[in-house]
Structure 1
């Protein structure tokens, strides 16, 4: 039983709230039974599980290193308003160059909820890959992870220089669509290729102009009402589901 927030293990768990420490230790924290179960069923490696006194671990998890903590320690570790009393430390996973058929490329999206929602939607739409460009919110941010609802563990998600990654994918005969208004066609007027990557951009400025010029096709979603634009996660959802319809 760990009872003090000054315990060295507790101090280390709390450090993982910060991106710098997550990068340094190559680990991150997940919270709640659902996320831990999704990680457990995946190929990601759970390092240890921390559970609050009175909260029981499922039998399938008992082979992991377990640490029981008091209420005050769990409160110090948790980042949720209503914690379930159980968290896990997970090792980050390197991109293992899986085959790409349908990918979402994310350029400088800042809102954790938007990124998490897009990863969850990519999973639901049957995409296999999500590629995060430089300047995008940290994948292992607590709010991002919670918004993915476990889909993080179902996809090949990695960070890359999008210019170089576009060139690599195009060499593999993957067609690149970029969202944007310049020289763009309505998405529903286009033939959908068998292998495709869709780029969506920053909430305020959209996709970087350099990326747009390197894309095979710029696409737009028509606005029929008075709204100025669509939320980036909604736009991504529309395009991803359009792709899988064909």
Structure 2
């Protein structure tokens, strides 16, 4: 049976006010929590065993059919974690806590998980993608999704990059953030350590002459992706060992940063698979 709590109906309830505040980045950072809106994201979090504080659903509609199986299971969270509370609430409360014009009938409050930086320096986990000032939430979410899909080791969000826990970023990940480590870090200090450890550092540049298809991406390289308009910042670019370009035989000036990252990630996957066969 689910850990079912009494229904909430008052917009002035302190818990409701706290959930609504999680729409702001400063509160998410301070509280170490974030919201997941919609059946798909909540189901993905439950399937992955991500720690959830609670799942709030429209009391008139009940627990969505897609989530009922998770509500009855005791193994949907990491070992030692507390089972989430399942809380019926009025549509007004759902709307107050939603960041979309047409609120979905369920949201969850999730706990942030910070992966250990040492994870980045493994030499057997595939590429690491580092984002330097990638500001569009949709781009960040898509890159996280592509990284998870292509077997990358991790994603690092540098200064000026969109917040992973922004509602738009979360929607763009389509739940992929539950399956790949994502860290926030100051890139220059991290890249300095990577150089000392001999990790190859590749950065995309329209001025580069070396094709990504001529590079060995089969191991655990670090792939640096820059801002949508200005590319990699000078203090990050100075660490790049090999500037590379994605060849384009058609007529267009450049690729969107999420498309470029996806192309590199799947080329790295192709090379790894070719070596294993």
Q: Where on the TM-score scale, by shorter chain, does this alignment land: which range?
A: over 0.9
| Residue 225 of structure 1: aligned partner | 250
Give the TM-score normalised by the residue count of structure 1. Answer: 0.93
Q: Verify: 1:39 aligned to 2:52, yes or no.
A: no
2:253 match: secondary structure = coil
Query: Equivalents in 2 of 1:87, 1:220: separation in Å?
Result: 41
Instruction: Please give the residue correspondences for 1:120-199 in structure 2 after superposition, counting only pairs within 5 Å.
Output: 120-199=145-224
| Cα displacement string for residues 111-139 of structure 1 (whole angstroms, at most 9, x for unaligned residues) | 11111011001111110200000110111
Distance 1:47 1:59 in 2: 18
Distance in 2 (alpha carbons) for counterparts of 1:176 and 1:61: 44
Deviation at 1:193, TM superposition (A): 4.8
| Alignment correspondent of 2:85 | 65
Aligned residue runs from structure 1 range 100-139, under 5 A = 100-139=125-164
SS of residue in 1 equivalent to 2:110: strand
Measured against aligned partners, the alpha-carbon deviations of 1:2-36 in whole angstroms (never above 9, x if no partner) come to 11222211111000000010011010000122211
Give the alignment's TM-score, normalised by structure 2. Answer: 0.83
Structure 1: 5+ residue runs without aligned partners?
none
Deviations 1:50-70 (A, max 9, x none): 111123151423542122111
**2:34: which partner in 1?**
28
Q: Please give the per-residue CA displacement for 1:169-213, whole angstroms capped at 9, x wherever unaligned.
A: 333432110011345411112233512110111000011122222
Query: After the TM superposition, which segments of 4 or more aligned residues of structure 1 sit over 4 Å from their partners?
Result: none
Distance of 1:118 and 1:192 partners within structure 2? 17
Partner of 1:92: 112
The count of aligned residue pairs is: 246
1:210 aligns with 2:217: no
8 Å CA contact 1:28–1:140 kept in 2: the answer is yes
1:43 Cα deviation (Å)? Answer: 4.7
One of 76, 82, 85 as aligned partner of 2:96: 76
CA contact under 8 A between 1:29 and 1:89: conserved in structure 2? yes
**How big is the alpha-carbon RMSD for the aligned residues of Structure 1 and Structure 2?**
1.7
Q: Is 2:10 the counterpart of 1:4? A: yes
